[in-house]
């Protein structure tokens, strides 16, 4: 299928898929359990992945971007995308930290709401997420909402540098899994098209975290290429209000699944394709572990 027709096909197919799932199909995923059972304030890092300190290759060079421009041109939602904001490709040093293995789920966010009385996302009904979506990434959360959750959980949002290193490792690879795009490995627009053609409907809310078994970074972090975009704590342009969101989503074409891809979004805005994950400083985690050990043996 031509790229110029892909978005129209996706929209029409998504509408059909949504209607059929509501009218004819039972929920595919169980409510509760799995990766959605967390969300308490954590004194450990069992649900997180350690990222060692050191340099990594961040951003894109002109040759890499030219290949994308030649392939997609001004079609498929790529028109107007600020490729220049990815340049240059450079070495960046990042301190050690821990990052959530998966995107924050509806079930985790629900625990935060229950504990604090914080308002529920606008996409929920009567303060509840949709049945069967406990393990799906929480959506319709602003940057401020994500910050509030992270603070409650004893964590914080990742910087753009931390997010990108966790996604691509140190070898400068294009995607979390390597240098070649494959829709089977992740959850982007091309993946959704293939699923629809196979009779599988995973549109409108993304898919449960960790479902795309091939979308795993060199460190073992899941869903950084697709499923939903993710908030970071970094400004898109220094001194401006917009915040960087990273990663692709189920409505984005493969260029957005690249680890270097970046967009600027109003921190007050919410979207059906933006979620988040959290990080924790290595030093803080180590200190907490020592304190826990002392308490256990005192």
CATH number at residue 214: 3.90.1580.10
pLDDT for residue 237: 93
pLDDT for residue 78: 58
Q: What is the pLDDT of residues 188-198, one digit of tens each?
A: 888 766 554 44
What is the CA 279 to chain-centroid distance, rounded? 13
Residue-wise DSSP of 172-240: T-SBTTBSS--TTTS-SHHHHHHHHHTT----SS---TT--TT-B-TTS-BSSSSSSEEEEEEESSTTS
Q: How far is CA 109 from CA 7, 44, 224, 243, in A?
A: 31, 18, 19, 21
What is the CA 298 to chain-centroid distance, rounded? 41
Q: What is the pLDDT of residues 227-280, one digit of tens each?
A: 999 999 999 999 999 999 999 998 888 899 999 999 999 999 999 999 999 999
pLDDT for residue 83: 76
Residue range of the domain that includes 134: 3-297
Strands laid side by side in the 243-246 sheet:
262-265, 243-246, 229-235, 274-275
Number of domains forming the structure of the chain: 1
Q: What is the mean pLDDT of residues 89-107?
A: 98
């Amino acid at each position: 299928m031509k790229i110029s027709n892909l978005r129209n096909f996706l929209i029409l197919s998504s509408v059909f898929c949504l209607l059929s799932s509501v009218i004819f199909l039972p929920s595919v995923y169980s409510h509760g359990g799995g990766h959605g059972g967390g969300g308490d304030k954590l004194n450990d890092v069992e649900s997180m992945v350690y990222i060692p300190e050191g340099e990594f290759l961040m951003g894109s060079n002109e040759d890499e971007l030219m290949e994308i421009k030649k392939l997609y041109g001004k079609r498929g939602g790529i028109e107007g995308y600020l490729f220049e904001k990815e340049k240059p490709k450079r070495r960046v040093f990042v301190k050690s930290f821990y990052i959530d293995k998966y995107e924050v789920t509806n079930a985790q966010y629900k625990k935060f709401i229950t504990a604090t009385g914080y308002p529920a996302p606008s996409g929920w009904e009567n303060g509840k997420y949709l049945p069967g979506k406990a393990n799906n990434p929480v959506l319709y959360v602003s940057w401020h909402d994500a910050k509030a959750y992270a603070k409650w959980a004893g964590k914080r949002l990742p910087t753009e540098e931390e997010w990108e290193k966790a996604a691509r490792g140190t070898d400068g690879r294009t995607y979390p899994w390597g240098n070649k795009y494959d829709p089977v490995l992740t959850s982007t627009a091309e993946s959704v098209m293939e699923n629809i053609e196979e009779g599988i409907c995973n549109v409108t809310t993304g898919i449960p975290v960790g479902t795309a078994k091939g979308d795993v970074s060199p460190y073992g972090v899941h869903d950084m290429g697709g499923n939903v975009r993710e908030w970071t704590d970094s400004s898109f342009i220094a001194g401006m209000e917009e915040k960087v969101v990273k990663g692709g989503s189920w409505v984005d074409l493969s260029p957005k699944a690249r680890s270097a891809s970046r967009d600027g979004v109003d921190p007050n805005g919410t979207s059906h394709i933006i979620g988040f994950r959290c990080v924790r400083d290595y030093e803080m985690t180590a200190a907490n572990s020592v304190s826990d050990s002392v308490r256990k043996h005192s």
